[in-house]
Amino acid sequence: MRDTRRWHREAGISGVLEIAGRARRAAFALATTATAVKDAALAAMAAALDARADEILEGNGVDLERARAEGTPAALIDRLTLTPARIAEMANGLRHVVTLPDPVGETLASWTVPSGLAIEKVRVPLGVVGIIYEARPNVTVDAAGLCLKSGNACVLRGSRSAISSNAVLADILDEAGTLAGLPPDSVQLIRSTDRESVKELMRAHGLVDVLIPRGGADLIRTVVEESTVPVIETGVGNCHVYVDSAADLGKATAILVNSKTQRPSVCNAAETLLVHRALADRFLPGAIEELTRRGVELRGDEAARSYSAAMKPATEDDWYAEYLDLIMAVKVVGSVEEAVEHVNRYGSRHTEAIVTEDEAAARLFAAGVDSACVMVNASTRFADGGEFGFGAEIGISNQKLHARGPMALPELTSYKYIVHGTGQVRG
């Protein structure tokens, strides 16, 4: 285990602001690093992950041992566990990023103004991207790959529970990347796991250009409240399926069941079902049966509960809840407008689906809900960078500033104006 515990020596030596300062210098160089160099580095990183799988497993073993000793729940242990197959998957993820187009350098617009100035709007990297994330060590590799391809230096801050795994992974990425020609410090992991180090990262305004928290609602809230660095909020999904009066019943049931049960633990799974009153008699009994049969616990308003003796009453908290589990809130509404109002009041601005054969209702719903993605006659589970054809995803943004919905390489960039004159001055 050559280097697995190098972080022990390094922790404490260099503060977070020093790391961020080094990242900023790396970012200046990365901004003009050629695509071919970035791609070669990503390929070298992938090869290094494969070649050093044993070290990675050894580092992961340290985390797993500690997690078991601390009585960590099985689901979290599973998310923390790396296997040869999962390591190969991470390496292949990097190889896939190589195949994606480099967004940097694209001319987004160009025009000439009456003063004779020729203005170019050119896509540039954001600079230094900070990622704060929870247990899954694959984020270390995925996030680094996407940041590097888009010309950004990254500062990674994973959780304490995955620190040994993340440290090995970051060392491998850093060494392979630097050998392949990337600026030093293009990928850095913060190895101190105390709260102070997260705070320092959140206050590194001027050194870090954006912070992307990836994790649960509590993590996101903390970052939003404490960060002076601009934040992109991601991944809190209280998604709704609205079954309109003009819904096709077969589509409605299929979309509802898929949205709720295909993978209940992810942010684009549905949490609340809204049903138009006119359709409730025909739709709800069958829908309740389908969901219940798949183990979904339902919590409804009075009208919904009239279709099921077993349904618990929904409280105000249920309408706000992101269960991430086999639980669903159910409400009967009188109109598209009432559905829209409910979504905008309780939702998390992530993804909503409407099932309807009425185009006017679909338009009203799509325009009315204040969410990143609106699915018309499709499962909420399609709100995903891969399904959208982006080839990758760094997260799903819940906010309206900068990027909304699935974020891929272009969302990790900004732009600058380059203006060519011939000596113009303002009169």
Binding to a second copy in span 90-149, by CB under 8 A: 111, 113-115, 117, 119, 124, 126-127
* Site residues (CB under 8 A) for a second copy, limited to 329-358: 344
- Residue from 200, 209, 318, 393 that binds a second copy (CB under 8 A)? 209
**Alpha-carbon distance 214 to 229, whole Å?**
15
Examine residue 73 and tell whether it contacts a second copy (CB under 8 A): no
Contact between 282 and a second copy per CB under 8 A? no
Contacts (Cβ under 8 Å, ≥6 apart) of 21: 207
| Site membership for a second copy, residue 377 (CB under 8 A) | yes
Task: DSSP letter for 391, please.
Answer: S
- In the complex, least distance from residue 88 CB atom to a second copy, rounded to whole angstroms: 23
Task: Give the relative orientation of helices 138-149 and 35-51 as an angle to the nearest 10 degrees.
Answer: 160
Q: Which DSSP string corresponds to 44-79?
A: HHHHHHHHTHHHHHHHHHHHHHHHHHTT--HHHHHH
Name the minimum Å distance from CB 173 to a second copy: 24
398 to 417, contacts with a second copy by CB under 8 A? Answer: 399-402, 404-406, 414-417
Closest CA to 30 of 145, 153, 176: 153
Nearer to a second copy, 194 or 370 (CB): 370
Q: How far is the CB of 230 from a second copy (least distance, A)?
A: 4
**Helix, strand, or coil here: 15?**
coil
Q: Does position 320 bind a second copy by CB under 8 A? A: no
CB of 301 to a second copy, least distance (A): 22
Shortest CB 22 distance to a second copy, Å: 14
Taking the complex as a whole, the smallest distance from the CB of residue 277 to a second copy amounts, in Å, to: 22
Comparison of 70 and 225: residue with beta carbon closer to a second copy: 225
Cα(200)–Cα(204) distance, rounded to whole angstroms? 6
395 binds a second copy (CB under 8 A): no
> Quick check: 231 binds a second copy (CB under 8 A)?
yes
- What residues numbered 29-58 form the site for a second copy, per CB under 8 A? 31-32
Are β-strands 270-276 and 187-189 bridged in parallel, bridged antiparallel, or unpaired?
unpaired
| Residue 308 vs 414, nearer CB to a second copy | 414
How many of the other CB atoms lie within 10 Å of CB of 416?
A: 10
* Ranges within 167-206 binding a second copy (CB under 8 A): 205
Whether the Cβ atoms of residue 383 and residue 375 lie closer than 8 Å to each other: yes
CB of 113 to a second copy, least distance (A): 5
Number of residues that bind a second copy (CB under 8 A): 71
Within its chain, how far is the Cα of 311 from the centroid? 33
Alpha-carbon distance 392 to 90, whole Å?
Answer: 13
Nearest one of 235, 202, 227 to 406, comparing CA atoms = 235
Q: Please give the Cα distance from 337 to 364 (Å, whole number).
A: 8
Please report whether residue 249 would count as binding a second copy according to CB under 8 A: no
- Within residues 258-277, the interface with a second copy by CB under 8 A covers 258-259, 262
N residues, the chain: 427
Closer by beta carbon to a second copy, 31 or else 189: 31
Tell the smallest beta-carbon distance from residue 254 to a second copy (Å). Answer: 5
Report the residue number, 75 or 109, with the smaller CB distance to a second copy: 109
Pick 14 or 377: Cβ nearer a second copy:
377
Nearest to 217 by CA among 358, 348, 404, 381: 348
294: Cβ–Cβ under 8 A, 6 or more apart, which residues?
257, 260, 261, 326
**Considering the complex, what minimum distance in angstroms separates the CB of residue 120 from a second copy?**
9
Would you say 282 or 416 has its CB closer to a second copy? 416
Pick the piece of the chain touching a second copy (CB under 8 A) from 34-42, 79-87, 162-170, 230-238: 230-238
Binds a second copy (CB under 8 A): choice among 250, 309, 310, 316:
250
Q: How far is 243 from 60, CA to CA, in rounded Å? A: 45
Minimum separation from the CB atom of position 105 to a second copy (A): 9
Q: What is the DSSP string of 112-167?
A: E-TTS-EEEEEEEE-SEEEEEE-S-THHHHHHHHHHHHTT-EEEEE--GGGHHHHH
